Amino acid sequence: IRLMDLSYRTDRFQESITWGLRGINTKQNGFGKKPEPQIEQELLYRLALAYIKLENFEEANNTLTALLSRHPQNQFRLDALYHHGLVLLTRGKMVEAIACLQQVSESTATSNAKRRHALRLISMHFREIGQHEPAAQALLTLKQISGEGAQHNLKLDELVWMGRYLHGKGEYKKVLHLLEPLSSMNTKLSAAARGEVLFLIARCHRQLNDHESAIIAYRRVVAISSKYDLQAILELGHSLKDAGHYEQAIEEYTGLMNSPRAAMSAEAELNCGQIYRAIAHRMILAGNTQGAQTAKQNARKLLLRLILLRSDPGISPLGELGHLELAEVEQELGKPQIAIDLYRELLQKFPN
């Protein structure tokens, strides 16, 4: 064992293997008998490490299998499981590898470095096969064992993935806690990564009805130019609308009305029409009848454009909502027959 260790420490891995095999072999070890269990455990463990260094993963696998099957509670068990998991990964045996790594990750007797690496590999595997719950649990455990400032012990792709996952679960405050430290301009991120981080932050603020914070985040998404630009402009319009900033919302929606994406154009037209109806209501309360009529006419134009140009069933239910909104506007403008015709058209076009 000492000769094995000396050879290993001086990077003579094949020589270390030669000493190890000699120690295990009854005819060569000079004692004429098998080594005692505790000695055999160490010989097998050190052999496996030397095989790994030489990238002889088949022999490493055989050696670790022998160690864990002959001595299931050996003194090197957790380290052996860790290395066995890594070796099995190189051989494409994912299920067996993850089983080994999970045992390592669950034990507090394992070093934190090995636990973190095991958890990271477990999460990566489950993300790749689309099993989000165990992937998230692995990252949450990794975060917990790292203590304060744990988000910095997760890699960028892990942080963003966790943000997406938690957003999908409705855990908006947790997303903000996780991602807002990344939104600082001092954090080095690519434009694409920063765009996604800010987009998730904006969506969380909006879901929490913090419209002013959402507006700031959406504007930052648009400013850096990413693949989320158009969707960010649309949702910026929604936040401005919800916050009562009607003129600014109309400006954002107007820029989307000629978008090649029919659903986005339709949504902009529908929301813009709804804003003009809200403006009309404000003006009625203020006694401005003429201004209210003008706002209703603007709503009518947009909603009519929506139902005439956006007939694709793929944008449902925007077409149906456009019919309903327009029918109500026509009735408010004193044209009940047109409203009735729109309701009938709605039933005819969308029987279900």
Read off φ and ψ for residue 217, nearest 5 degrees: -65, -45
% of the chain residues with pLDDT over 90: 84
In this structure, of 241-250, 258-267, 269-278, the range with the lowest mean pLDDT score is 258-267
- Residue 234 token pair: 């649309």
In terms of phi and psi (left: phi > 0; alpha: psi -120 to 50; beta: otherwise), the region of 71 is beta
CB 167 within 8 A of CB 179: no
- Residue 243 token pair: 């916050």
Q: Does residue 33 sit in helix, strand or coil?
A: coil
CB 19 within 8 A of CB 31: no
Rounded to whole angstroms, the Cα distance separating 271 from 318 reads 10
Alpha carbon of 219 to those of 125, 210, 252: distances in Å? 35, 15, 11
Q: Tell me, what's the pLDDT at 148?
A: 56
Q: Tell me, what's the pLDDT at 55?
A: 97
Q: Tell me, what's the pLDDT at 150?
A: 45
pTM: predicted TM-score of the whole model, two decimal places: 0.82
Q: Does residue 149 sit in helix, strand or coil?
A: coil
Q: Tell me, what's the pLDDT at 62?
A: 96
Rounded to whole angstroms, the Cα distance separating 352 from 348 reads 9
CB 19 within 8 A of CB 7: yes
CB 270 within 8 A of CB 322: yes
Q: Tell me, what's the pLDDT at 143?
A: 87
Instruction: For CA atoms 232, 236, 237, 242, give the dihedral sign.
Output: positive
In this predicted model, what pLDDT tens digit does every residue of 41-86 receive, in sequence order?
999 999 999 999 999 999 999 999 999 999 999 999 999 999 999 9
Rounded to whole angstroms, the Cα distance separating 174 from 9 reads 46
Q: Is the pLDDT of residue 124 over 60?
A: yes
For the chain, how many residues are written? 352
> Which of 6, 80, 10 lies closest to 48, judged by CA?
80
Which of the 8 DSSP states describes residue 30?
S
Side-chain-side CA neighbours of 13 within 13 Å: the count stands at 12
Average pLDDT, the chain: 93
Q: Is the pLDDT of residue 173 over 50?
A: yes
Rounded to whole angstroms, the Cα distance separating 217 from 203 reads 9
CB 243 within 8 A of CB 215: yes
> Which of 46, 111, 50 lies closest to 78, judged by CA?
111
- Residue 178 token pair: 């996780």
